[in-house]
Amino acid sequence: MRIKYLYILLLLLLSCAKEADWEPETSIDEHLIVDGIITNEGIIQDIYLKYSRAQLDEDAVPLSNADVIVNNEDSTWRFIEKSDEPGRYQSQRKITALSGKNYSLLILFDGKVYSAQSYMVPGKAFSELDYKKNDDNNLYHIDYVASAFEEDDPAMWEIFLDWSEVPGYEDHNPDDCRKRYCFIPSPHWM
Amino acid sequence: MRTFIILSVFILCTATALSQNLLRKVSLQGNNIPLEEIISEIEKKADVQFSYSPDAISAGETISLDIYQKSIKYILNRYFVPRGISYKKVGGHIVLRPLGSEDGEDTTHFVDDKYYTLSGYLRDRRTGEMLIGAHVYEKDTYTGTSTNAYGFYSLTLPGGERNIVFSFIGYEKQVENVKLNKDKKLNVQLRESLLTMKEVEIIGRSDEAFFLNKQISEFRFSNKTLSKMPGITGDKDIIKSLQVVPGIETFGDGSSMFFVRGGSDDQNLILVDEVPMYNTSHLFGFLSVISPDAISDMEVFKGDFPVKYGGRLSSVVDLKTKDGNMRQFGFGGNIGPYTSSLYIEGPVVKDKSSFYISGRVSTLQWLPDLYFKNQDIKIGFYDINAKLNFKINDNNRLYATFYTGNDLLERKTTSSIETYGLGWNNILGTLRWNHVFSSKLFSNTTIYLTRYQYLMFLSEDRREYWKSSIANLSLKSDYTWYLNPYNTIKAGFQVSSHSLDAGNINLDGAASDLRDVPEYHSNEFTFYAGNSQKFFDSFILRYGIRVPIWQDLGPTTVYFFDENYDVIDTFNAKKNRVYETFISLEPRINLTYQVSPTTSFKAGYSRTTQFLNELNNSISPFTSLSVWVPSGPNIDPQKADQYSLGYFTGIKKNTFTFSAEAYYKNFHHYIDYAPHANMLYNPLIEGEIRIGDAWSYGLELMMRKPAGRLTGWFSYTFSRVFVKTAEINNGETYRAFQDRPHHVTIFGSYDTRKKWSFSANWLFMSGAAISTPVGFYDYNGYVAPIYDEKNNDRLPAYHRLDISASFRLNRNEHKRFRHSLSLNVYNVYGHSNPYFISFNRIFDTEGDLVIPADHYKPGKRIATELSVSEIIPSINYQFNF
């Protein structure tokens, strides 16, 4: 056992985490998880059907052989399970979802029907990100992403940063030079 | 043998008058048995207590006897009186003396029906320091009292010549012969017992547990007891000492949070010389903010508060600081790797006025410098305590106390995002005036100011920050009227003005326009009165009522919420406009029945109300934001009703003492929080509160060995606490975070009476109740947890062993300059006690733990735990002159 009296400090820097020997105390029945986003990107869209699981690092058990249908007021799309990837259902055509319309999802499996409805929220205009260089510390700052939370008009932004081609980073592993950030203005925030 | 006798005589002294039956029947057979053995046989069989001096009555003399079912009176008359031994029933004891030595007193009762009052102060002879909770009693009748928080006592006795005993833990017992023919003043100074005079000290200590004045649910630490307790960094620690008290659950490592009988952390009132202190932690709670050197007495109430205390639901920790030496200058201190402290004390005017100043500073900057060389990390704290007291005359004394403590933690980097700083500070000032109106009426009037601030720095130069604060200015006056030997009446009032800021942003060192978060102003008026009444010799009934009145005043903005916690109305209260008033009635009652000199039963009921609430929805002390808000339109005052029963007894002539206490407690308007509540800079912070009910119950068992070379205790507590809040957990009952059913402490201290002393402490607590996922699912590339019931799971059980050894460096212990080295090891067997479990980490391909914000890197998802300390060794050097 190593004597670690520096823990006082490590703790303050949130560094003394280690793997926990944790077992879920109770387990609920498996839930069917429907994970899908229909966008206006005009691409083949995916819907994943998997079960929830008890363990953190377990692979989710897919739900196969379900009928998956999405429609709006005008059209209907059928999603077919990929033969090499159970549980992943793909649209047969490219879908460009239209803002201001209602979309519904219907899943038929083993005699049961699951359904959901959603409204395609009109997208927000996204101003181009602006970088400013701080001369004091030589770092670039993103000054502004979006305006604060508006109750009638909630929105979220996803920002992909890739600096693998920035001078000085060419030799780095490109995977280390990419980050994905989500910007979600929340209510009650400054 | 000598020890035994002194001890047994002493125990008798500690009890008050009780009636015992001389007519109880016993059987005794045997040849050539010493009288002493016969006496102890009778004590055992008939459950009575004898008091005698073995030399005076030649207790070694042997007799032969064969009796069957005869009364004690018969045995005494048949065997003792013929041997020149008289007996007398005094209070609960049978006193044996040589015939003819009764001083002409009536052998059964006092005939003088005129009563006189003896009053005065009890002090330490060497330093003039007041002695709190010392015992003062009449030697024969055991009618007694204890000194109050200012060392004052008042004892009313029948007239005549009386022997008055003054005793206190760690001091030589002193007997004063007083001719009581009028009300008299008697100031007494006790001599501290030195290490070699252990007999006396042992006797002194054994009385700690048993004295009729002891309240139910109370626990007391004198400076001497505190000094034996282990602390995390080798320095003794006030709050850490509490975790050995049955019924008090501490957070674990690295936090000064504690939970008493199911109550939440903000339901504990911590008083320093009568002034509330809102945050008692240094360095997130590794240490308490007040240097243990400066404390002369600590009293802990776990419920059944005396009527003079109020304002919190669960406990009162009443700390009294030292007065300082009235006779001569002295200094002392402690040098250690984490903290170092120094105090000086001495007379301003000899025997009239003294001062005590202590300071402590962190000395652990070497830690970050050593382990985080390239990062500019600063951690530090300090505290200063200063006290001045002035004895104007016998009837008037003034005390002034000042305390300030400050913590700062910061990390500066070239990137402003990664620069952060946190700080908090307490400042307290008080002026107290003790006035003795007459030998029967004592008063203390206090005026105080206390302020606590919590800051989060937003800029490197610390001129921009988020700050929450609470402050109050208060005047209070407490009166004790020692009416007669059977009634002690206490009454008083308090007027307070509170100001609170739930956390606003200050720019450039000044309040900015961004002051959207409410600031509050409240007034509080409290009145109380109570009586402690003795009757039938063996009962004490304490009853009283406390009436707090709370008013919220403008200027402030009050938000009103609908059932979805959306704002439906806003009200701007003008300055000094009262927009809410609460009045509460708090009855308190408890009854003590002294069955025998060493055994008593107690029962109590008390109601408490709390108007100040610390909003904090984090279970981790490191992410806690301390925000205090008062009760108001959205927050009903929290109330608690507590019912408790206690049983106390001494075993083997008080070599061991055993206590059992049970309680049931109901909390009304218990505060919990909405899921994902935002407590930082939230103008609608009151909308994050969910109010429910809670209840707790428990059984606390404790066995102590208060005396001898080896002292210590074993305690076990079983306790539960449940909450029911309509909008949380679907309205179903759930266990509170602090629900930790099993709690075991074992503490032992061994004094070699030479240069070494050792102590060890083992602690076990069930893990705190937390919510953990019952399943997981994939969603949009994330692994999302599924939560079911609130607090469905527990952290692993907490346990650790601490040991400490102290070595006196002086060759001659009678020298005034004493110094010693102490070696402490905290958590000897290095058990990892996690205080937090998270489910959002992965082991990346390099084997490092990362938070999976970066979805490009795959890895194994695991649960991780945060724990504080494995082994923390320390060595400290202490000295005093």
Condensed to tens digits (0 to 9), the pLDDT of residues B431-470 reads: 999 999 988 899 999 999 999 998 888 777 777 888 899 9
CA distance A156 to chain B (A): 14
Q: CA-CA distance, B782 to B771, in Å (whole number)?
A: 20
Q: Is the ipTM reported for this complex over the cut 0.85? A: no
* H/E element, B227: none
DSSP per residue over B687-728, as a string? Answer: GGEEEEEEEEEEEEEEEEE-SSSEEEEEEEEEEEEEEE-TTS
State how far the alpha carbon of B182 is from the alpha carbons of B104, B156, B159, B186, B646, in Å. 21, 11, 8, 12, 39
Residue B836 above 70 pLDDT? yes
Average pLDDT in the B662-688 region? 88
Residue B640 above 90 pLDDT? yes
Chain A, nearest residue to B772 by Cα: A24
Quick check: A8 and B849 CB within 8 A? no
Q: CA-CA distance, B212 to B220, in Å (whole number)?
A: 14
List of chain A residues whose C-beta atoms are within 8 Å of the C-beta of residue B839: 56
**Range of weakest confidence among B128-142, B376-390, B558-572, B700-714:** B128-142
Where does residue B250 rank: exposed (0-12), middle (13-18), buried (19+ CB within 10 A)? buried
Residue B312's pLDDT is 94
Where does residue B687 rank: exposed (0-12), middle (13-18), buried (19+ CB within 10 A)? buried
Where does residue A102 rank: exposed (0-12), middle (13-18), buried (19+ CB within 10 A)? exposed
Quick check: B870 and A7 CB within 8 A? yes
Quick check: A31 and B783 CB within 8 A? no
Chain A, nearest residue to B787 by Cα: A28
Peptide bond into B368 cis (omega under 30): no
Distance of CA A114 to the CA centre of its chain: 22
> Beta strand pairing status for B49-51 and B93-98?
parallel
**How many contacts, defined by CB atoms under 8 Å, are there between A and B?**
168
**Both structure tokens of B548:** 């707090």
Within an 8 Å CB–CB cutoff, is residue B4 touching chain A?
no
**Both structure tokens of B70:** 């005869």
Q: CA-CA distance, B755 to A21, in Å (whole number)?
A: 45
* H/E element, B45: helix B35-46
Quick check: B776 and A18 CB within 8 A? no
Task: Answer for the pair B545, B587: CB distance below 8 angstroms, yes or no.
Answer: yes
Residue B110's pLDDT is 40
Q: What is the pLDDT along chain A (190 residues), one digit of tens a residue?
A: 222 333 334 344 434 667 777 777 666 677 888 988 888 888 999 999 998 888 887 888 899 999 999 998 888 999 999 999 999 999 998 988 888 889 999 999 988 999 999 888 777 677 777 777 777 777 777 777 777 667 667 677 778 888 888 777 888 888 888 887 777 776 544 3
Q: CA-CA distance, B810 to B186, in Å (whole number)?
A: 37
State how far the alpha carbon of A109 is from the alpha carbons of A32, A65, A68, in Å. 11, 7, 9
List of chain A residues whose C-beta atoms are within 8 Å of the C-beta of residue B364: 8-9
* H/E element, B371: helix B366-371
Report phi then psi at B206, rounded to 5: -65, -15
**Both structure tokens of B802:** 């601490």
Within an 8 Å CB–CB cutoff, is residue B675 touching chain A?
no
Average pLDDT in the B720-733 region? 93
Helix (H, G, I), strand (E, B) or coil at B589: strand
Return residues 231-290 of B near A (CB < 8 Å). 254, 283-284, 286
Q: Of B690 and A169, which is predicted with more confidence?
A: B690
Chain B, nearest residue to A52 by Cα: B777
**Both structure tokens of A75:** 């059209």
pLDDT tens-digit readout, B743-771: 999 988 888 877 888 888 899 999 999 88
Report phi then psi at B366, rounded to 5: -60, -25
3-state secondary structure A2-61: CCCCCHHHHHHCCCCEEECCCCCCCCCCCCEEEEECCCCCCEEEEEEEEECECCCCCCCC
Task: Answer for the pair B763, B258: CB distance below 8 angstroms, yes or no.
Answer: no
**Both structure tokens of A109:** 């499996």
Mean per-residue pLDDT of chain B: 82
